[in-house]
Chains A and B, each alone.
Chain A
């Protein structure tokens, strides 16, 4: 069974601080995909990034960066110079690569609520 753990329930930072959101996953698959989604106060779920299990290169997109370490089964998300608009719940998720004849499932962590204040 697949499992995603986001141990940080809630994080509060002051604007311009850097913050890292942790994600640890469990899977028996050798090929899998990891995702991060953002849920702002308005409630919709916004896709941020996807990473496959064979690509351990870190990714940077503006103030966002992701660190994928297969050795520790972690896929952490860092926001540099946080802003109030970053306040949201962030979900890490894990997907099977392929399931013959049916849809692969996305398993979510419980989410980390990030509060950025002035």
Chain B
């Protein structure tokens, strides 16, 4: 059971470069999320998606774009990377029997460590 798969696991970028973090889940979950984790700040929500074709901004969306082209995949794009975007990025999905229910547990990917020089 793959669960939530993120690629790449590690990436080093130079300031101004662009890249896309890929996320795919095989659990038929409706909701998907992107968080970033920084020391002392916990996990902060970047963007989330309730279903295919819909996305919403989270707490720290500036400098990022997302795409939910289908139910399985939710990608995060950095158009012009900055050192402040150095972080560990986690993708997560949430399913269960009730759509959009806050009771459902988030399942996380293994994380992607991004360094911007």
Contact = CB atoms under 8 A, between A and B. Distances in A.
Nearest to B30: A103
A58 B49 CA distance: 33
Interface string B51-67: 00010101000000000
B2 interface: no
Which 4 A-B pairs give the minimum distances between C-beta atoms? A103-B31, A104-B102, A95-B102, A103-B50
Given A103-B94, A104-B31, 13 more contacts: A33-B102, A43-B88, A45-B90, A98-B100, A103-B31, A103-B32, A103-B48, A104-B102, A105-B33, A106-B33, A106-B45, A106-B102, A106-B106
A103 B58 contact: no
A103 B71 CA distance: 14
25 contacts: A32-B102, A43-B110, A44-B111, A45-B90, A47-B105, A91-B43, A95-B102, A95-B103, A96-B102, A98-B100, A98-B101, A101-B100, A102-B50, A103-B30, A103-B48, A103-B56, A103-B100, A104-B102, A105-B33, A106-B45, A108-B35, A108-B42, A108-B44, A110-B41, A110-B42
Interface in B50-108: 50, 54, 56, 58, 88, 90, 92, 94, 100-103, 105-108
Contacts of B32: 103
Contacts, number: 74
Interface class of chain A by DSSP = loop
A109 to B, nearest CB: 6
Nearest to A31: B102
Chain B, interface SS category: strand
B42 A102 contact: no
B31 A47 contact: no
Nearest to B107: A47
A18 B13 CA distance: 44
B42 A109 contact: yes
